Amino acid sequence: MPDFVLRRRSRTKRPMVKTSEAENYDLVDRYDIIKGYGSVEILWNRNTLENVYSVVEPQLNEAEKKLLLTLPKEMQMVIPNLKAFTGDFYDMDIGALLDAYVKAYEIKISDESKERIKYYLRRDFEGLGAIEVIVRDPYVEDVSCDGYGIPIFVYHRKYGSIKTNVVFNTADALNSYVIKLAQVCGKEISVSEPILDGATPQGHRVQAIYGEEISTRGSTFTFRLFREKPFTPVELIKFGTASAEMTTYFWYMIENLNSALIAGVPAVGKTSTLNAMLMLVPPASKIFSIEETREINILHQNWVATSTREGEFENQDSGAMNARIDMFELVKMAMRQRPTYIVVGEVRGREASSLFQAMSTGHTTYSTIHADSMEATVNRLESAPLNIPRIMITYLNTVIFNKFVRSGDAVNRRITEIDEMSGFNSETNEVVYNKVFSYDSFRGKHSFMGFSNLYKKVQFTRGLTASQFKAEFDERKKLLEEMVRSDITNYVEISKIINTYYRDPEKAMLAASGGV
């Protein structure tokens, strides 16, 4: 795990920049990623009036650079032949290999130089090379390389899309790196097969193009980073994505088995919202999730996590052809296993039909879709290739809209609307829905619109009066607010507090308030 400490600073001149334009940069933020070796500085360029994401790593002198260029090949050739060496070269730690090599050949090198070289060897051979620090940064969601000689861009949770100081200067260097990415993902990429769609062992989603036949600016790659620590309900509130009242609504929605779609444009935080919502699932319930590339990450024991298998390929052991398994097949499989919740990462094909069939038979389902309004959502669902009859769309209970909202220079992610399906008007052929929550971008505030079918359903099924329901609702809302106030963002702690609430609300409130 990265050693991550954020230290907020004012925009003072940055003394560490070693470029001819050093005086044109102000330091905005600095935080460590790999303690003592890799850190990030957010700089303000006073000439171009933009932020720059600067990766700061140890500086090598000329002798160290020369040694770093020759070491990997020499160590691979020489160390396995040493009498003192036992084991597989490829299974050894890079640091141990360097120590063995330096000792055997009595190379004169200071401990400081050796540690710096170890860092770069580990970074390049055990990590992801020049972008290792970026990939480890918990604030970074996406990494994009658009060609050689072009700065890599990242999407930063605080600063949005921002240019970095990392560049692949030549076509050969970038081509070699893209080939390495394919190998890391367990796939191949070449001139004849120039497109890569894969995932790293850490779960990062990688798409790449090799060469200049398709991409005229040279090879490209994009990382969609998998977050090891999932987005939580507390962070929904803390970052202003949703209010405490809306998050409490999600809690009742999930507990009372209301199906929902999270809609929005790409990269607006739909999956993060889905992850946060799923942390509110009661502890004994069974979840069956279906994705093309794993992005859902929840702390739940009774959870079957599946992903598709794209394309046919030959099994090396048996020689038989392994068939393609798509989301449609996995949705059908999920229905046979009687889960409490079926979660599909995104609906965009024939799996949508199975998902709505599951809703019609009483299953609770959650998914995401690319649409930015209720009208667009309905049109998308009933159009090819989803082809959901408009009347079946009413089996869906709730639609949640995530959008980008601009506030001054900042662009924030907000849940701007929550709508409940109310029925179908056969005369007008229109889906009838009720807006439950909305977001006022001028005031920067979420508001309850005054009525919710879900609240009435809870009161009716549990025999609660309006005042009794309000008292319980306020208690859950307070629990979430206390976790925000206590800055409890660790997903393990949050899950424990929520699970405790079902057994002992008072004990959960004490824990949320920072007590034992």
Higher-pLDDT residue of 122, 174: 174
Q: What is the pLDDT of residue 326?
A: 85
**Ramachandran region of residue 408, left (φ > 0), alpha (ψ -120 to 50) or beta?**
left
Kindly tell me the burial class for residue 60, based on how many C-beta atoms sit within 10 Å of its own C-beta (0-12, 13-18, 19 or more).
middle
Give the E-state strand segments of 112-202 in sequence order. 140-145, 153-156, 160-164, 195-199
Q: What is the pLDDT of residue 299?
A: 83
Query: In which band, very low, low, confident or very high, does the pLDDT at 66 lie, cut at 50, 70 and 90?
Result: confident
Give me the half-sphere count of Cα atoms (radius 13 Å) on the Cβ side of residue 384: 0
Cα–Cα distance for residue pair 368/343, rounded to 1 Å: 9
Q: What is the pLDDT of residue 160?
A: 86
Size of the chain, expressed as the number of residues it contains: 516
- Checking if the pLDDT of 345 tops 70, the result is yes
Q: What is the pLDDT of residue 125?
A: 82
Q: What is the pLDDT of residue 78?
A: 53
Counting residues of the chain whose pLDDT is more than 90, the rounded percentage is: 61
**Ramachandran region of residue 339, left (φ > 0), alpha (ψ -120 to 50) or beta?**
beta
pLDDT tens digits for range 168-189: 999 999 999 999 999 999 899 9
pLDDT tens digits for range 448-459: 999 999 999 999
pLDDT tens digits for range 128-171: 999 999 999 999 999 999 999 999 999 998 888 999 999 999 99
Q: For residue 109, what are the CA distances in angstroms to 36, 85, 314, 328?
A: 20, 21, 49, 59
Cα–Cα distance for residue pair 175/210, rounded to 1 Å: 7
CATH code assigned to 233-310+321-449:
3.40.50.300
Cα–Cα distance for residue pair 277/315, rounded to 1 Å: 38
Q: What is the pLDDT of residue 23?
A: 66
Mean pLDDT of all residues in 185-204: 90
Strands 260-263 and 430-440: unpaired
Residue written as token pair 């859950």 = 476
Contacts of residue 87, defined as CB under 8 A and 6 or more positions apart, other chains included, come to: none
Mean pLDDT of all residues in 259-277: 94
pLDDT tens digits for range 210-236: 999 899 999 999 998 887 788 899 999
- Checking if the pLDDT of 85 tops 70, the result is no
Q: What is the pLDDT of residue 88?
A: 47
Cα–Cα distance for residue pair 230/12, rounded to 1 Å: 34
Counting residues of the chain whose pLDDT is more than 70, the rounded percentage is: 89
Q: What is the pLDDT of residue 322?
A: 61
Domain ranges of the chain: 5-57+129-224, 62-125, 233-310+321-449
Q: What is the pLDDT of residue 323?
A: 73
DSSP-assigned beta bridge partners for residue 31? 6, 40
Q: What is the pLDDT of residue 311?
A: 55
Q: What is the pLDDT of residue 100?
A: 75
Query: DSSP secondary structure string, 196-236?
Result: EEEE-TT--EEEEE-SSSS-TT--EEEEE---SS---HHHH
Q: What is the pLDDT of residue 257?
A: 96
DSSP-assigned beta bridge partners for residue 256? none
- Checking if the pLDDT of 368 tops 50, the result is yes
CA 118 to chain CA centroid, nearest Å: 30
Higher-pLDDT residue of 469, 410: 469
> What's the topology of domain 5-57+129-224?
Beta-Lactamase (3.30.450)
Q: Is the pTM of this model over 0.85?
A: no
Mean pLDDT of the chain: 87
Cα–Cα distance for residue pair 415/402, rounded to 1 Å: 4
Mean pLDDT of all residues in 285-298: 88
- Checking if the pLDDT of 15 tops 80, the result is no
Cα–Cα distance for residue pair 183/178, rounded to 1 Å: 9
Q: What is the pLDDT of residue 7?
A: 37
Three-state DSSP state, 119: helix
Query: In which band, very low, low, confident or very high, does the pLDDT at 275 lie, cut at 50, 70 and 90?
Result: very high
Highest mean pLDDT out of 115-124, 198-207, 375-384: 375-384
pLDDT tens digits for range 313-332: 444 454 544 677 888 889 98
Three-state DSSP state, 81: helix
Question: Is there a contact between 68 and 121 (Cβ–Cβ < 8 Å)?
Answer: yes
Question: Is there a contact between 137 and 33 (Cβ–Cβ < 8 Å)?
Answer: yes
Q: What is the pLDDT of residue 106?
A: 77
Q: What is the pLDDT of residue 84?
A: 46
- Main-chain dihedrals φ then ψ at residue 375, nearest 5 degrees: -65, -45
Q: What is the pLDDT of residue 92?
A: 56
